[in-house]
Amino acid sequence: MAPRFCARCGGHRKSRQRPRRGARDHRIARGARALAAPRFPAGQRRPGAFARRVHELVCQRLRRGRLTHCAGKPGVSAYSLERLLGRHIDREIMRIRELTLQEVRMKLVAPFETSMDRTEVRRILLVRADLDGVIGWAECVAGESPFYSPETADTAWLILRDFLWPLIKGKDFASAGEVWGLLARVRGHNMAKAALEAAVWDAEAKQKGMPLSKLIGGVREEIACGVSIGIRESLDELVAAVEKELAAGYQRIKIKIKPGKDLEPVRRLRQDFPRIKL
């Protein structure tokens, strides 16, 4: 008599033969989709993607012999799936499927000069994280040279590619807030870490269909914004630059200074703009 398969998991009821993989996999996926569907309101993550993640977790535990089906033999029962969902999936388990680094070069409208360096073209490192099919983007704030900070675009690229990505690759987490802890083995390099974490925050906000500001606990619709102005050749140029930024709506002005160009610029701006936040 041909062996019969358990309707729940595909495992054999009255045989010690190994369950037929195709039947078992089909029933795992079908059961996971059925359990997943009511957990996601319309417009949020599709149950199909949820079911595939359940399927991966189930297969891991099947290989370890940690799940049994209704006849007590290796397989997956509805009870086992429910326990798995309660322990893992209800925590919104996520995983970065792919991490892509991209560099763009942007010519500045005007050179940005500080006491340490002068920049005319920005090299910007972008991080693209594929979080279970949802793409999140972030910018690494490291500059071109190590004069302001020890980190640069080049060091961030190296750390992200060779150290941070291997640390988080294949790891499950419930929220972007757990990413920083997964990267703790790497000392320093906070700009590189922040870029990776920010990309995950962006993807998680998209997954949940909500603004990132709300996801991280923000309550305001708008915030006051400031601007940083580099060192200018003359005081008149500096005043003109400040007037332009104030007219654009910036509410706080930050200026760069250096020996020989410190007291006079501040004195002139305080004289011409006594009420601004400087």
pLDDT at 68: 47
30 pLDDT above the threshold of 70 = no
Q: Return the pLDDT at 108.
A: 92
Residue 71, pLDDT > 60, answer: no
| pLDDT at residue 119 greater than cutoff 60 | yes
Hey, what are 275's tokens? 């009420």
pLDDT more than 90, % of the chain = 54
Is the pLDDT assigned to residue 98 strictly greater than 70? yes
* Percentage of residues in the chain having pLDDT higher than 70: 67
For 92-112, what is the mean pLDDT? Answer: 90
Sheet strand arrangement including 118-131:
96-113, 118-131, 134-140
Q: What is the mean pLDDT of residues 103-131?
A: 93
Cβ atoms of 6 and 12 within 8 Å: the answer is yes
The Cα-based distances of 94 to 9, 42, 217, 226, 252 in angstroms read: 25, 19, 20, 35, 39
What was the pLDDT predicted at 206? Answer: 94
Q: Which two tokens stand for residue 271?
A: 């004289």
- Mean pLDDT (the chain) is 79
Distance of CA 44 to the CA centre of its chain: 18
* Segment 196-247, tens digit of pLDDT: 999 999 999 999 899 999 998 888 888 889 999 999 999 999 999 999 999 9
Ramachandran quadrant class, 65 (left: phi over 0; alpha: psi -120 to 50; beta: rest): left
The Cα–Cα gap between 242 and 260 comes to: 20
When pLDDT is cut at 50, 70 and 90, the band that residue 81 belongs to is low
Question: Token pair of 255, please?
Answer: 């200026």
pLDDT digits (tens, 9 = 90+) for 38-69: 544 455 545 455 555 665 665 655 555 555 44
Q: Which residue has the higher pLDDT, 12 or 64?
A: 64
Residue-level pLDDT at 107: 94
Predicted pLDDT at 203: 95
pLDDT level of residue 134 (50, 70, 90 thresholds):
very high
Q: How many CB atoms lie within 10 A of CB 127?
A: 27
Q: Which of the four pLDDT bands, split at 50, 70 and 90, describes residue 122?
A: very high
Q: Binning pLDDT at 50, 70 and 90, where does residue 94 land?
A: confident
